Amino acid sequence: MLLHFTKMHGLGNDFMVVDLVTQRARLNNDQVRRFADRHFGIGFDQLLIVEPPQNPDMDFRYRIFNADGGEVENCGNGARCFARFVRDQRLTHKNEIHVETCGGPLTLTVENDDRITVDMGIPDFTPAAIPFEADGDHILHVLDVKDERWQIGALSIGNPHAVLQVENTETAPVASLGPAIESHPRFPARVNVGFLQRLSPHEARLRVFERGTGETMACGTGACAAVAHGIRRELLVSPVTVHLLGGDLTITWDGPGTRLFMTGPAERVFDGRVYLT
């Protein structure tokens, strides 16, 4: 079978996007891993799939698979690419698009400047919701990693995140500490790990080691988690510009119990076809 796809990216966080509204196919984990390979496949951080909604109040179902083949709950940069894709493919003409994900419903809004705003919902700091093994909701948790103690924030943006404040993202131990925290036993579903550097109340730098993928050029949910944690600690004040390796995102959040919004670009790279075997 010949499968049509589009390669897209949000600030360098890159995706293979597949329309399974007008096409019929089933992709297994082995196929996802082969397509994700940057030497022998298409190469991407995540595979995004557009499906008909299961809920009649939604416009689409949005599914996300990491490069290791595992399905995950949410991807913010992917959500922006999803919105541009369904519009480019004329699957919808709406400016406000409602999608269902494994992590809950999302609202995607195409702005006049072609940037996309995603309503990411209400950040959840409850350990059981992340999931994270802890004795309660604390702004900072102590985590023992490699014979060292680190203070982290832990929260869910529809998917699990740990956030560490660092003095400088350029020298942060992302390559060594990222995978150690990602697979820490206190995070039973593993976790995305953000390394946050505060520049001013409205500006920050961030690097993210993504669960099942490794460090990426950008992570939308990671930026949302870092800002929510920073605002909760009174390090940051909304709105916040987050500088990631691939570019900038704007995060707006009024504090605990309120919805968080992420705004940024989405770019189409090329269209292609691949044989499913």
- Assess whether 81 and 196 both reside in one domain: no
Residue 174 pLDDT more than 90? yes
- Spatial CA neighbour of 10 closest among 95, 71, 82, 106: 82
Number of domains comprising the chain? 2
- Same domain assignment for residues 96 and 188: no
Q: Is the per-residue pLDDT at 179 higher than 90?
A: yes
Residues 45 and 155 placed together within one structural domain of the fold: no
140 and 87 in a common domain = no
Residues 90 and 212 occupy one common structural domain: no
Same-domain pairing of 227 and 140: yes
Whether the pLDDT of residue 146 is over 90: the answer is: no
Strand partners, 156: 124, 160
Which run of H or E residues covers position 60? strand 60-66
Measured from the Cβ of residue 51, the count of other Cβ atoms closer than 10 Å reads 15
| pLDDT tens-digit map of 240-277 | 999 999 999 999 999 999 999 999 999 999 999 999 97
- Whole-number Å distance between alpha carbons of 11 and 7: 13
Residues 142, 189: Cα–Cα separation, whole Å: 19
* 143 and 214 inside one domain: yes
Q: 140 and 96 share a domain?
A: no
Range of the domain at 31: 2-120+265-275
C-alpha span between 180 and 189 (Å, rounded): 14
Residues pairing with 84 in the sheet: none
In terms of domains, do 37 and 83 share one? Answer: yes
User: Based on the domain organization, do 250 and 131 belong to the same domain?
Assistant: yes
Tens digits of residue pLDDT in 43-87: 999 999 999 999 999 999 999 999 999 999 889 999 999 999 999
Catalytic annotation on 81? no
Which one of the listed residues 75, 81, 102, 224 is annotated catalytic?
Answer: 75
At 36 the three-state DSSP class reads: helix
Q: With 0-12 CB in 10 A as exposed, 13-18 as middle and 19+ as buried, what is 170? A: exposed
Residues 195 and 165 in one domain: yes
Q: Which of 81, 102, 219, 224 is catalytic?
A: 219
Task: Tell me the mean pLDDT in the region 217-235.
Answer: 97
Q: What CATH number does residue 140 fall under?
A: 3.10.310.10
Q: Which residues of 182-208 are buried (b: 16+ CB within 10 A; e: fewer)?
A: bebebbeebbbbbbbbbeeeeebbbbb
On whether both 59 and 112 belong to a single domain, the answer is yes
Dihedral angle over CA of 203, 235, 135, 157, nearest 10? -20
Could you tell me what percent of the chain has a pLDDT over 70?
A: 100
Cα(240)–Cα(214) distance, integer angstroms: 25
